Amino acid sequence: MTDYPLGQVEFVVRTIADTAVANEKYFGDLDAVVGDGDFGYSLARGFELVIRDWDDFDRTDPATFLRKVAVVITSRIGGTSGPLWGTAFLRAATAVTSKSAVDGPTAVAMLRAASEGIATRGNASLGDKTLLDSLVPATDEIERQIGLGSDGPTTVRAAATVARSTAEETAKLQARRGRQSYTGERSIGSVDPGAVAVAVIFEALADTWAV
């Protein structure tokens, strides 16, 4: 991670951005099953701009960097995705304010803050068939692995496994939030695209996590 002055914070953000762009069609196809199909497009367009502006972001500290990324995401990603993902980055920034580096417990605090921000902004809870149904269990697993003393690669791989399994489990749920909720019981049987996106991102992180 020598190319990232802020270490793992930058590495994670860049991996999220690259993954969102690379999976535009996949995420869009998932969303098109019972949604309007714009999730992949919206996410990719926003994170393309994060990549475009990458070298210009203020890297004074992790919180400043994340706030700058949040501004781009909130202002450039369309639909409901922009406010939700932007809020996640902004809340994560708040959780790391005044810190120059991020350790395991701080990373958990950042993910918890991001999840709480998404829940509040989207008026969503676990079981509503949203990305929270993958993100929250994955965060729980990270906290559990830290408690066990696991190293970084083991922790992230375990989180990716949980994220994938819980994302797949969303197929059993009826959507309570977002465009999918308009379809009622027809939303049962298809996975939530946001939850799958979380799983794909964690898998990308696990595949490339160095230490």
Q: Between the CA of residue 38 and those of 30, 100, 166, 196, what are the distances in Å?
A: 10, 37, 23, 15
Residue 165 has a pLDDT of 98
User: What number of other Cβ atoms are within 10 A of residue 60's Cβ?
Assistant: 11
Structure tokens at 141: 């697993």
Scan for tokens 């996590």, then name that residue: 209
Sign of CA dihedral 177, 204, 145, 167: positive
Residue 71 has a pLDDT of 93
Give the chain's residues under pLDDT 70.
Answer: 1-3, 36, 78-79, 177-186, 211
As a whole number of Å, the CA-based R_g of the chain is 16
pTM: 0.93
3-state secondary structure 92-119: HHHHCCCCCCCCHHHHHHHHHHHHHHHH
92's CB contacts (< 8 A; 6+ apart) are: 66, 110, 111, 113, 114
CA–CA distance, 48 with 114 (Å, rounded to integer): 21
Sign of CA dihedral 115, 121, 123, 128: negative
Give the chain's domains with CATH numbers.
Answer: 8-208 (1.25.40.340)
Read off the pLDDT of residues 141-184 as tens digits, 9 standing for 90 and up.
999 999 999 999 999 999 999 999 999 999 998 877 666 655 66
